[in-house]
Every structure is written in C-alpha cells, then in structure tokens.
Amino acid sequence: MIRLNDVTKIYKGETRAIDGVSLNIDKGEFVFLVGESGSGKSTMLRLVTAEEPATAGQVHVAGKDLSRINSWRVPYLRRNIGSVFQDFKLLPQKTVYENVAFALEVIGRPKNIVTTQVPAILELVGLSHKQKSFPDELSGGEQQRVSIARAFVNRPLILLADEPTGNLDPNTAQEIMRLLDRINRTGTTVVMATHDQTIVDQMRRRVVALRAGQVVRDEQQGVYG
Amino acid sequence: MRGFVGRAAYFARETWINVRRNLTLTVAAILTVAVGVMLVGLGLMARYASANALGRWQGGVQFEIFLEPNIAGGQIDALGQELRNHPDIERIQFITQDQAFSLLEDMLSDEPELLAEISVESLPPSYRVVPRDAEGELIESLAAQFRERPGVYSVETGRQQVDAIREWFNSFRWIVLLMSIVLAAASAMLIFNMIRVAMFARRREIEVMKLVGATNSFIRLPFILEGMLHGLAGGLVGAAAAGVLRNHVEELFGRSEILAFFRSFTVTSGQFTTATLATVLMGVIVGALGSAFAAGRFLDV
C-alpha cells in the first residue's frame, strides 16, 4: 500500500529530514512511527500525501509512483488518503456536520451521498448528538473525533495520523485509539506518528522507529523504545 | 444533474461569501474597471462616429473658393463662367458677402460682441463647388488650378478638413486606447490583490480542501468567478456611463451652433450595441485575467 524505496528528503539543500529510508507497509496494517521531534516522522507522512516531493528515491502509494505522477492527479491520490492532525484543522465557522460534509462536497460527491454518509460516520465516531455544534463548543477529544470522521467519510484506503493524541488527556487518547483501531479493522491501513509511549506499548502493533531521518528499528508487535 | 445543481449552488454560495467579505476593495475594483472599460467604449464609439462622418463627406464632398473681399464684379463673373464650363465640375453656388454675413450671424448668435467687430465688407464672397467626382485627387487638382487665380483669396477643400479631423480623431483614439490599457492593467492588478486577500482569508479552508483531495480547478473556480463578477459589474457600470456620455455629447453637438460641424459624428444603434457589448466583455475579461493569475499563484498553501 505504501512503499518507500531508498528515499531521501533534503530541505533547502542542507537539512536531511529523511535519509535513505526503505519501508514497506501492506494493506490493512497498523503502523506506529516513533522517534524524537525532528526525527523525520512528519516529513515521511508529507511524502506519502505528496505535499513534499522526495529528493531521491521512489515513494509508491496505492500502486502509484509519486515521482512520476502528474500534478493534476495528486488530488485524486489524496482521495485515497485520510489525514488527521494534532491540531484537528477543523473549520471554526462550520458545524460538526458541515465540517464532515465539506470533505465530500469539495470532491464533487452528489448531495444524496453526503446526506447518507455524513450521519453514518458521525454515528461511528459517536457524535450524532453534536451534529449542530461548532468546534469551539466541543472538547478536544470530540474535536479529534470530528476530524477523524472527516478523514474517514470518503472511505480512504489509508489513514495518516500525525500525533492525533498529542493534545489530549490519557483517557481521551484511549478513546481515539479505540476509534483508530476500529477503522483499521475495516481494512484501512493506518499510519500514526506519535510520542505517546503508553499507547504504543499497549497496542502492540508494528513500530518503526526513526532517528535523524533513518529507520533504526522496525518490529512487529513492538514497543515504544 | 443533481450533482451539477449542487455544485453550482456551492460555487454561487462561495463566490457570494467572498464578495461580501471585502466590500470596500470590491467597490474600488469595480469602479476602476468601470472607468477603464468606459474609455474603451468611448474610444470605440469615437471610432465609429469619425468613420461615419468621414464617410459622409467623402461621398458628397465639395470645396469652397474664397475671393478677395474687394474683388471687382467682372472678375467674379469671369471666374463663375469658367467654373460652370469646367468639365469636371457639376455645379456651383455663389455666396455673396451678405449671405456670408448671415451665415456667420447664425454661427455666432450666442456671441453678439464678436459679431459686432465684423463688417459685411471684410468678409470674402465665395463659390461653393461640387465636383463631378468626389475623388480626393481630383478635388486637389481642381483646387490647385484655381488657387493662383487673380482675385482668389484661398481655396478650402473638404479634404483638408477631413484629414485634419481624421488626424485629430486618430490621436484621440490613441490617447483613449493608452489610457484604457493603463486602467485595465490597474484594475486587473486590483482584482489580483483582492483575490489574494480573499484566498488568504480562506487559507484554512483551502488547506482542508487540498487535504481531502479537491482538485485545483475546483478550489480556484469560486475565486475566478468572483473576479469575473467584479469585472462584469464594472463593465456594466462603465457601459452605462459611456452610454450617458454619448447622449450628452450628441445633445451638445445638436444644441451648440459652434459644434454644429460635429453633428455628423453620430453612432448608429447597432454600433452602440456593439460598443456596449465590447465594453462589458472587456470588463469580464479583465476580471477573469486578474483573478485567474491570483488563483494560479496563491494556491500553494
């Protein structure tokens, strides 16, 4: 599903954010990317969404070589990838329902799809009763669940999460992990960059550890460090 | 079909939100477009008007031989005889000093002081000559034949006037064209900036749109529509202003005796429609260009 082949990413000619990484993530896997700040986790996610081009090597996502893909096809690639962030990136002037519906509307999905899919996904993340609330009326955990609903409403093949529990207390973080686990069980590949040792140790999934842009450890059912 | 309607509603809603967000900038841009395209419209109408007027004169043009005011009666008759017998001349009309004075009286009816300075005896009598053929070359050669005759003060051909007017209108058109290019560029830049501000204001939305896989054209379209809407509004205002100005000028030509000469500078309704449509279209194009450049340039969030 995601394959990195000797990938290097150099920012502004000096900083080596990713340094010769080769990595293979299969369909349906759940992978934690761990490592200190600046170890290259976020850059790796940005390479997968084609927000950044690789300086050297190939990034394959859902069978496409991103170095050869036409720039106008990038949006279609991104429809296969849902993204979740530490800061949620919700639109404050839109309600919960509108935030989620927005993701479908802007890729031109017809209205009848929107009106059936959005309530279903809000049900899945347990926020049916908050459809009409605005983001600033919700707790951090609820906001992150909205953001996951938005990322997943189009049923992407891949879900990328960059520190999704970074702003949340431990109990709320557990909730979010249960949700991501459920999404993974539907066959969606989940890649999550995190600092959260408790969660990684508890979930016992594949762990890829990065240091200074290189993979220093890759274990099935691994722990944080 | 339902998808299309939904999408059109989406674009309409988004465009309207953008327009409302920057009302002062919007008004400034619309007015600049309006002035710019108004000049385009006026330039176009001036072009039609001069072509119409020149065409009319070139059809039935005549020239006028002015005689010395103190010319002897015999010389007048001899010249008249010669003109009448000339093979290239169709007909002539003699204008006496009295007639010349009454023509002047008509022209200067608003300015009696000026008229008081002029005596009947100081005015030249003249022959108005209509040649058989209204060809410029022929008129010039006829004029040259009579210019050096004793008793002839001067010969004024229509061609000289036509050329002078054509030249005047040409330079007028160039000035107008230049000004409208400058203003069109200014309005395109204003719209460019306005769209940039609008995109900056909505950068979070644009970021999310890119994230979930909205195509670039989908993200850009509301902004380009917004620019075109401003261009259209400016074009309509400019066209209306040009129309009002045209009526005003034509009325002025009709009323003033001094400007009576310009009465033949009229625009047909067909030409007026063409000029108006061109004016509005110009506004839309300016708006589309300014916003398309901005949308193309500032999409990378």
Which of B13, B202, B208 to mutate against chain A (most A CBs within 10 Å)?
B208
How many CA atoms are closer than 13 Å to the CA of A8, on its beta-carbon side? 10
Alpha carbons A164 and A84: distance in angstroms, whole number = 6
Q: How far is B241 from chain A (nearest CA, A)?
A: 40
At A187 the pLDDT is 94
Helix axes A111-124, A140-152, angle to 10 degrees: 140
At A201 the pLDDT is 93
Chain A nearest-CA residue for B221: A106
Residue B201 near chain A (CB below 8 Å): no
- Asked whether the predicted pLDDT for residue B79 surpasses 80, the reply is yes
- Asked whether the predicted pLDDT for residue A14 surpasses 70, the reply is yes
Highest-scoring range by mean pLDDT, A11-15, A118-122, B177-181: A118-122
For residue A102, the chain B residues in CB contact (below 8 A) are 205, 208-209, 212
Using pLDDT thresholds of 50, 70 and 90, give the confidence band for residue A128. Answer: very high
- Asked whether the predicted pLDDT for residue A25 surpasses 80, the reply is yes
For residue B215, the chain A residues in CB contact (below 8 A) are 72, 75-76, 107
For B97-125, what is the mean pLDDT?
80
For B6-21, what is the mean pLDDT?
74
DSSP secondary structure letter of residue B9: H
Q: How far is B300 from chain A (nearest CA, A)?
A: 10
Tell me whether residues B3 and A110 touch, CB distance under 8 A: yes
> What are the sequence ranges of the domains in chain B?
2-57+163-297, 59-161
At A76 the pLDDT is 93
On whether the CB atoms of residues B146 and B116 are closer than 8 A, the answer is no
For A111-132, what is the mean pLDDT?
94
Chain A nearest-CA residue for B301: A51
Nearest CB to A75; choose among B2, B204, B213:
B213
For residue A112, the chain B residues in CB contact (below 8 A) are 2
Q: Which stretches within A10-139 are classed as H helix?
A: 41-48, 74-78, 96-105, 111-124
pLDDT tens profile B265-277: 777 888 888 889 9
- Asked whether the predicted pLDDT for residue A13 surpasses 80, the reply is no
On whether the CB atoms of residues B290 and B191 are closer than 8 A, the answer is yes
For A29-39, what is the mean pLDDT?
92
At B20 the pLDDT is 76
- Residue A25, SS3? strand
Using pLDDT thresholds of 50, 70 and 90, give the confidence band for residue B3. Answer: low
For residue A150, the chain B residues in CB contact (below 8 A) are 208, 212
Nearest CB to A75; choose among B2, B10, B214:
B214
Alpha carbons B230 and B284: distance in angstroms, whole number = 8
Residue B7 near chain A (CB below 8 Å): yes
Using pLDDT thresholds of 50, 70 and 90, give the confidence band for residue B4. Answer: low
CATH architecture observed for domain A1-76+191-225? 3-Layer(aba) Sandwich (3.40)
For residue B211, the chain A residues in CB contact (below 8 A) are 49, 78, 83, 89
On whether the CB atoms of residues B235 and B37 are closer than 8 A, the answer is yes
Highest-scoring range by mean pLDDT, A50-59, B135-144, B245-254: A50-59
Considering the domain B59-161 in this protein, what is its CATH number?
3.30.70.3040
For residue B209, the chain A residues in CB contact (below 8 A) are 102, 106
Chain B nearest-CA residue for A150: B212
Q: At a CB cut-off of 8 Å and minimum separation 6, what does B17 contact?
A: none
At B263 the pLDDT is 67
For residue A79, the chain B residues in CB contact (below 8 A) are 212-213
Alpha carbons B84 and B227: distance in angstroms, whole number = 67
CB pairs under 8 A between A and B: 62
pLDDT tens profile B169-221: 778 778 888 888 888 888 888 889 888 888 888 888 999 999 999 998 889 88
At A189 the pLDDT is 96
Could you tell me which residues of chain A have a Cβ less than 8 Å from any Cβ in chain B?
Answer: 49, 72, 75-83, 89, 91, 102-103, 105-112, 150-151, 154
At A55 the pLDDT is 92
At A100 the pLDDT is 96
For residue B219, the chain A residues in CB contact (below 8 A) are 106
- Partner A, chain B 272-301, Cβ-Cβ below 8 Å: none
Percent over 90 (pLDDT), chain A: 82
At A167 the pLDDT is 87
For residue A110, the chain B residues in CB contact (below 8 A) are 2-3, 6
Tell me whether residues A150 and B205 touch, CB distance under 8 A: no
At A127 the pLDDT is 94
Residue B205 near chain A (CB below 8 Å): yes
For A28-43, what is the mean pLDDT?
92
pLDDT tens profile A172-195: 999 999 999 999 999 999 999 998
For B15-24, what is the mean pLDDT?
75
The residue behind tokens 């106008």 is A72
pLDDT tens profile A71-87: 889 999 999 999 999 99
At B25 the pLDDT is 79
At B61 the pLDDT is 58
Chain A nearest-CA residue for B210: A75
Nearest CB to A154; choose among B204, B205, B212:
B212
CA B209-B211-B215 angle, to 5 degrees, is 55
- Asked whether the predicted pLDDT for residue B157 surpasses 90, the reply is no
Alpha carbons A97 and B9: distance in angstroms, whole number = 18
> What are the sequence ranges of the domains in chain A?
1-76+191-225
At A43 the pLDDT is 93
For residue A89, the chain B residues in CB contact (below 8 A) are 204, 207-208, 211
Supply φ then ψ for residue B85, to 5 degrees: -85, -5
Indicate the range of B74-83, B130-139, B144-153, B181-190 predicted with least confidence: B130-139
- Asked whether the predicted pLDDT for residue A31 surpasses 70, the reply is yes
**Amino acid present at B151:** G
Alpha carbons B59 and A158: distance in angstroms, whole number = 80
Using pLDDT thresholds of 50, 70 and 90, give the confidence band for residue B58. Answer: low
Percent over 90 (pLDDT), chain B: 13
- Asked whether the predicted pLDDT for residue B301 surpasses 50, the reply is no
Q: Which residue has the higher pLDDT, B159 or A95?
A: A95
